[in-house]
Amino acid sequence: MNNNVVLLPILIPFLTAIILMFAPKKIIFQRTVSLLGLLVALGVSISLMMTVQQEGPQTLTFGSWPVPFGITMVSDMVSVLLVTTTLLLTIFIVWYSFSSIGKEREQFYYYAGIMFIITGINGAFTTGDIFNLFVFFEVFLMSSYLLIVLGGEKKQLQGSIHYLLINIISSGLFVITVAFLYSVVGTLSMADIAQKVATLEQPAILTTIAVLFLIVFGLKAAIFPLFFWLPRAYAAAPTPVLALFGALLTKVGVYAIMRTYTLIFIHDQSFTHELLMILGIGTILFGCIGALAYFDVTKIIIYNIVIAVGIILIGVSQMNTAGVEGAMYYIVHDMLIKAALFMLGGTIIALTGTANLRKMGGLMKRYPVFGWTYLVAAFSLAGIPPLSGFIGKLLIVQGGFEANNPWMSIVILLSSLVVLLSVIRIFIYAFWGEEQPATISISQTTYQRQLLPTIVLVAITVAYGVGAEAIAPYMADAGETLLNPAIYINAVTGGE
């Protein structure tokens, strides 16, 4: 079924960005138009999600070209859940930016940059063409280059060099890998590729291409051992930009792995998915080491990004209902909670004037609501029931036991203790003890303006966990779509 609404969550942010570029110095205009554009796009995305739930995946092929010759956009439950989550959390990041990013950055295409990033991310989640996936990667990466250097601080310029180089390398490798795949199957439509690969039964050349794609997307997702660039590059960004990057950019790489390893490269699972599980475990272990090694608020949360990526990929690697549904629950949870934690961490740094835990203390005496909000977010990240991190992690652990990989499930459970320890350490150092004099302190008004969007976002994560039963049909639909490639293929080809 063709449906022009599939394009709207991509087009609305894009058109909003164009409008914003005409009046970069008018801050009130920039803020108002940004929020309105995101709210409209979110409403459309929620409506599309309901349609997908009732009618199945929605598709649109450009120019009335027949499949697989035209570029097809596909909105199935997997993509529409991620698009909706992206738009939702971006609303709160933009709201938080009003009191945290600074007027100088706001007047230099900051909000337009965010809208272009959302355009690329939503396009990557929705496209059904493997080369078009590369194009949308480049759209959000070019915009991210602007945001990571916006302000021109020395640490930003240093961090951006690592970020720029690693993405140039991975983009080049992406094009080469797509060319290899096209030379074997002769098509770029992911649905058509899946059909062609099924007839070839994945010979050694396709397994090699699968590993190359894992390297390409692994660089974007920061999996082991390819995560080395992430901490320094992300730590250089201003807090709202860091929240946007930490919540979204690695998840696009994770999504690409999920999609290709459940739709295309599924015929040699004893090698490809075993490798994915091993790399997922390595990602968790090294993320845990980093989270415990630092006394820097930002880097502790950044290394928790790495841990979450490993957990999601392990769920996907099990290729059973519990594991894949758990991965979907967990990726949505992690997108929301990482945005909230980076916003909370940014406010901690703003109040204390430092990111060093050893130089903090006593915030609970003056800011008790802030302290308890952070604690709820920390428990949610660690997967304490009934908060949002619990259900996804539980399902992934169940998937590991069902796939006869109990040691993998044990690693995930142990990592939860490390995650809890790392974020509770921030709570203890920053909020308890004697209050330390701040070298930079924000006003009470600014603090309240930063806290309000954060509290609302944390409340949404709580509702996501407590109300897991209400969203279970959507997650079950997403899991079934990933485990049954015929659903995706038939939606694109019309069952031909």
What are the pLDDT digits (tens) for 226-265? 888 888 888 888 899 999 999 999 999 999 999 999 999 9
**β-bridge partners, 58:** 75
Arithmetic mean of pLDDT, 36-42: 96
Arithmetic mean of pLDDT, 21-33: 92
**β-bridge partners, 73:** 60, 127
Structure-token match 């059904």, residue found: 128
Residue 157 confidence (pLDDT): 75
Residue 151 has pLDDT above 80, yes or no: no
Structure-token match 């059973």, residue found: 320
Q: How would you class 407 by CB atoms within 10 Å of its CB: exposed for 0-12, middle for 13-18, buried for 19 or more?
A: exposed
Fill in the amino acid letter for 408.
M
Residue 1 confidence (pLDDT): 44
Q: Label residue 2 by pLDDT band (50, 70, 90).
A: very low
Q: Which two tokens stand for residue 39?
A: 């709210």
Distance CA 151, CA 106 (A): 10
Residue 287 has a CB neighbour count (10 Å cut-off) of 29
Q: Label residue 369 by pLDDT band (50, 70, 90).
A: very high
Residue 422 confidence (pLDDT): 94
Q: Strand 58-61 vs strand 72-75: parallel, antiparallel, or unpaired? A: antiparallel
What are the pLDDT digits (tens) for 46-80? 999 999 999 989 998 886 777 777 888 999 999 99
Residue 105 has pLDDT above 90, yes or no: no
Residue 65 confidence (pLDDT): 74
Residue 232 confidence (pLDDT): 83
What are the pLDDT digits (tens) for 170-211? 889 999 999 999 988 888 999 999 988 888 766 788 889 999
Residue 440 has pLDDT above 70, yes or no: no
Residue 332 confidence (pLDDT): 95
Give a three-class secondary structure readout of 44-95: HHHHHHHHHHHHCCEEEEHHHCCCCCCCEEEECHHHHHHHHHHHHHHHHHHH
- Residue range of the domain that includes 93: 4-493
Arithmetic mean of pLDDT, 349-374: 89
What are the pLDDT digits (tens) for 113-124? 999 999 999 999
Q: Based on the structure, what is the number of domains in the chain?
A: 1
